[in-house]
Amino acid sequence: MKNKNNSIPLKRYTIRVWVVPIFILSILLSIFIYNKTKKIIYQNIYNNISELSEQSVVQLNQSINNQIQFVETMADSINKGYFKTTESVFHNFSDNLGDYKFSRLAIIDENGNGITNDGHIITNYENVEEFFEHDGVYLSENRPSLISDEQVNIYSQKCYIDNQEKILCAIIETNNYKSILTRRLYNGKAGTYLINNNGTVLIDSFGDITQNNVNLYAYIRNSYNLNLSQLSKVNKMAIDVKNNQNGAFYITSNRHTYFFTYQKIGINNWYAITLASDETIAKELIEFLFVFLTSSIILNAIIIAACISIDISHQNKNRKLFRTAFIDPVTNLGNLQYFRENGKLYLENQKGTKYVVSIDINKFKALNNIYGYEFCNKLLKSLGNIIGNVIGENCLVCRLYSDVFAVIFKYNKDIDLLLNKIADEASIINIDDTIIKLNLSMGVYKIQKNDTNIDNILSKVYMSRSKIKGQVEKLYYIYDETLENELLEEQEIESNMKSALENNEFKIYYQPKFYSENKQLAGAEALVRWYKDDNMIPPNKFIPLFEKNKFIIKLDKYIFEQVCKDMASWKEKYGYAPKVSINVSKEHFVNPNFIDEYVKITKKYNIDTSNIDLEITESATVDKQINILEIMNKIKELGFTISIDDFGTGYSSLSMLQSMPIDIIKIDKIFVDKIDFNSDKNIINHIMFISKQLELQTIVEGVETEEQFEYIKNIGGNIIQGYYFSKPISKDDFENYL
Ligand code: C2E
Ligand code: CA
Ligand code: CA
């Protein structure tokens, strides 16, 4: 609920959970698109290579077949007897050799001796039996030329020449095949190996393989860094070639993909193996794809980062809102709203005995005036800390408003000790090397089982506190049922007061005042009584409440008018009316013009204002919010006299009253009660003495006994009001005195 220094912790920044899956999802999508596109491209490459390979194979096949046919034609015409000698054969066919890319003809006998059409003599040609084994045209694998450094292939057929069986050979340079096989694909190179069915490379259109009798499978295995599954693809090719099957596959090595197709060319079980790498054929596309993938990842990252930053700024805004809505900037504690919400949670979640205490500082306004705003803010902060520290961990301290704090906490020991400790610590607060002694008032409420409504609880602690508010000697008040009853009573009174006024339930009683000298009537004080259903409610039950809720303004005016009415009736009946004192609550004084309405009423009943005395309590004269002088002057100007009521109970002094336009002071009953008849040093004697000096009249209130009466008479109290003469009585009873 709170941290070490009681201030409200802010929520941590959170990264929303959706960010992660969305990020992963979009990366996966990019990878998916990347792979899908790559697959399409690869399929395309496959198709292209296959096509290319097929074209090469067809061309090679065609060109070899043409060459075979040429040799067949030669052999045919020789065997039919058109050309019988070596010389005639050479003579007849030498000119056509170029058309078929042959470099020369040779005729060799079974001993390997012979001659070429361009005059080279051949002796003991190796492996000549190989040529005699075949009946039709035979095409040899490449072998070194006897005449040049080139490799050659030999087309041969047995023929009768010079009356013996010889071999007619047409010789072609192997390089001639290369030109057919070499092809370009896209921007890069693709090429073909021509192999026999053992895998021996006959022709390498790339030109990479320079040695003879290289096995292509072994070459592939050595050239590429292959894993097991790729090795098995190569092995499968070897088997397929053995079994006259065509096929295709690809392998990936060193971050490149190599596409292979193998196709038999239909001659001598030879195979054309076409090879192309993605690097050469689809470099740009693959590069583009890679750029796509990386940029989409980067873009994703940027978008996610933007989302997070927007989110954080959003959270920041929320924090600010939270701060302004829930946190008191002066103390860093929660405010009323915060207390409401978190107090409720506290009630719900914390088990055990719990209390809510509201704490406020007596006379904080005065402190504010003396020390200034900034200083008092520090004071508030420091009080907040004291409350939190004394109560300890796991309490919720808030400043609800101005100097009012509330704290909710768990506690199962003596609550008095705890509250006293808070008060003790608050009585020595050091702010900027100034020691301040705070007086606190606390309202305490012990949480009951079914308490869930914080506002109700707060109103209970306020109620408890207001019970002792202003009483310096009382530190706290713990809520009890009587308080509740009082409140209920107050509520009842509040709900009835308006109708009471309309129904004339408020009656006026007059308490007569007498001259001590001759016990003649000196006047009367009008005192209100509330008769409700034949029960009399005494004024101390409702006047304080009406002062709080301002209804007193209406009531006083009503009483004033009733008194004027009574006075008018007495004037008529008895030819005169005695002077009447009427109580005026200080609540009127917020509006200095209130008196104008009173004057209007006196005019209505034709009462002389000088025949009315207005009683203003002493406490009104020390209230700083009231410009009492202005009001009193106005009252005086209009002809009323002014009495200071309950003199001696407030904080004013006689010298203070000296500056005010007052006529009478009413000495409060407590001074009469305190009279020690054996002494002449009673306070009342001093008051009487000084008021005489100030030329003020005095009325002594609450005189009940003969003894008191005599004493006061002796010290010069000339007007007396008290039960000794009469209690407040009804109008009719009062008329007996007239
Ligand atoms: P207060 O103005 O000081 O009125 C005098 C109170 O002292 C009256 O009480 C009166 O009955 C009582 N009292 C007078 N002599 C004696 C005595 O010898 N012994 C004792 N024990 N009491 C005596 P009450 O009528 O109950 O009035 C209480 C207070 O209510 C008044 O005190 C006054 O402050 C207020 N109040 C009464 N009527 C009005 C009103 O119309 N307007 C306003 N604003 N306040 C009123
Ligand atoms: Ca009075
Ligand atoms: Ca009084």
Query: 373-391 vs 415-426: helix axis angle to the nearest 10?
Result: 150
DSSP H helical ranges for 433-476: 454-468
Select 327-479's CATH number: 3.30.70.270, 3.30.70.20, 3.90.1750.10, 1.10.150.20: 3.30.70.270
Nearest-CA residue for ligand 1 atom 30 is 539
Q: Where are the alpha helices (DSSP H) in 407-519?
A: 415-426, 454-468, 481-502
* Mean predicted lDDT score pLDDT of the chain: 89
pLDDT for 727: 96
CA of 512 to the centre of ligand 2 (A): 12
C-beta of 722 in contact with ligand 1 (< 6 A): yes
- Can you tell me which residue has the tokens 């042959």? 102
539 ligand 1 Cβ < 6 A: yes
Give the residue, by CA position, lying nearest to ligand 1 atom 35.
Answer: 539
As a residue count, the chain comes to 738
Mean pLDDT computed over 620-628: 82
**Helix or strand run (H / E) with residue 447:** none
d(C-alpha 166, C-alpha 162), whole Å: 8
The pLDDT of residue 598? 96
**Ligand 1: nearest atom to the Cα of 585:** 44
Q: Give the pLDDT confidence of 79-137 residue by residue, as tens digits.
A: 888 988 999 999 999 888 989 999 999 999 989 999 999 889 999 888 888 888 888 89
Ligand approaching nearest to the C-alpha of 530: 1
Q: Please, which residues bridge with residue 188 across strands? A: 185
Element (H, E) at 657: helix 654-658
Contact 397, 407 (CB under 8 A): yes
Question: Which atom, in ligand 1's list, is nearest to the CA of 701?
Answer: 15
Residue whose C-alpha is closest to residue 598's, from 551, 549, 631:
631
What confidence tens digit (pLDDT) does each residue in 281-331 have? 666 777 787 888 888 888 888 888 888 888 888 888 888 888 888 999 999
Q: What percent of the chain has pLDDT over 70?
A: 95
- Asked if residue 538 has its Cβ within 6 Å of ligand 1, the reply is yes
The arithmetic mean of pLDDT across residues 629-644, rounded, is: 95
Q: 327-479 and 496-734 share one CATH topology?
A: no
Between 651 and 400, whose confidence is greater? Answer: 400
* Domain boundaries defined on the chain: 83-176, 327-479, 496-734
Could you tell me the sign of the dihedral formed by the alpha carbons of 696, 697, 702, 703, in that order? Answer: positive
Taking Cα atoms as reference points, which of 461, 422, 428 lies closest to residue 440?
422
Task: Please tell me if the CB atom of residue 544 comes closer than 6 angstroms to any atom of ligand 1.
Answer: no
* Residue 547 pLDDT exceeds 70: yes
Judge if the beta carbon of residue 559 lies within 6 A of ligand 1: yes
- Tens-digit pLDDT profile for residues 7-18: 666 666 666 667
d(CA 35, CA 23): 18
SS3 letters for 74-132? HHHHHHCCCCCCHHHHHHHHHHHHHHHCEEEEEEECCCCCEEECCCCEECCCCCCHHHH
* Phi, psi at 502, each rounded to 5°: -65, -35
pLDDT digits (tens, 9 = 90+) for 241-250: 999 999 999 8
- What one-letter code names the amino acid at 442? M
pLDDT, tens digit (0-9, with 9 covering 90-100), for 10-40: 666 666 667 778 888 888 888 888 888 888 8
For residue 210 the two structure tokens come to: 């320079």
DSSP code of residue 666 = E
For 637-641, the CB contacts below 8 A with 24+ separation are 638/595, 638/599, 638/609, 639/608, 639/609, 639/610, 640/595, 640/598, 640/609, 640/610, 640/612, 640/613, 640/614, 641/610, 641/612, 641/613, 641/614
163-215, pLDDT tens digit by residue? 899 999 999 998 888 877 755 555 555 788 899 989 999 988 877 887 888 99
Task: State residue 8's pLDDT score.
Answer: 66
Of 278-282, 402-406, 555-559, 576-580, the least confident = 278-282
Question: What pLDDT score does 1 carry?
Answer: 43
Is pLDDT at 4 greater than 50 in this prediction? no
Sign of the alpha-carbon dihedral angle for 569, 570, 574, 576: negative
Q: Which residue has the higher pLDDT, 275 or 1?
A: 275
- The answer to whether 487 and 466 have CB atoms below 8 angstroms apart is no
pLDDT for 185 equals: 55
From atom 27 of ligand 1, which residue's Cα is the shortest distance away?
539
Q: Report strand pairing: 114-116 vs 121-122.
A: antiparallel
**What are the b/e assignments for 586-602, b being 16+ CB within 10 Å?**
bbbbeeeebbeebeebb
Segment 631-655 mean pLDDT: 88
Fill in the DSSP letter of residue 585. Answer: -
Measured between its terminal Cα atoms, the distance across the chain in Å is 72
CA 653 to chain centre: 60
Beta bridge partners, 667, equal 647, 700
Instruction: For ligand 2, an ion, list residues with CB under 5 A.
Output: 583, 615, 645
Is residue 668 within 6 Å of ligand 1 at its C-beta?
Answer: no
CATH superfamily of 496-734: EAL domain (3.20.20.450)
CA distance 411 to 571: 68
- Class (C level, CATH) for 83-176: alpha beta
Q: What is the pLDDT of residues 688-736, one digit of tens each?
A: 998 898 889 999 999 999 999 999 999 999 999 999 999 999 999 999 9
Ligand nearest to the CA of 509: 1
For 93, 152, 180, 247, 721, the CA distances from 68, given in Å and listed in that order, are 14, 15, 17, 27, 157
Of the two residues 49 and 445, the one the predictor is more confident about is 445
Residue with tokens 């035979």: 138
Q: Could you tell me the two tokens for 263?
A: 């196709």
247 lines ligand 1 (CB under 6 A): no
**Predicted local distance difference test score (pLDDT) of residue 3:** 42
Residues 445 and 355: beta-carbon distance below 8 Å: yes
Q: Give dist(CA 441, CA 469) in Å, integer.
A: 6
Round to whole Å and give the CA distance between 284 and 287. Answer: 5
Report pLDDT digits (tens) over 505-529.
Answer: 999 999 999 999 999 999 999 999 9
Q: Look at residue 394 in the predicted model and tell me its pLDDT.
A: 85
Q: Which residues contact 236 (CB under 8 A, 6 or more apart)?
A: 247, 249
For ligand 1, is residue 613 a contact (CB within 6 Å)? no
Whether residue 552 has its Cβ less than 6 Å from ligand 1: yes
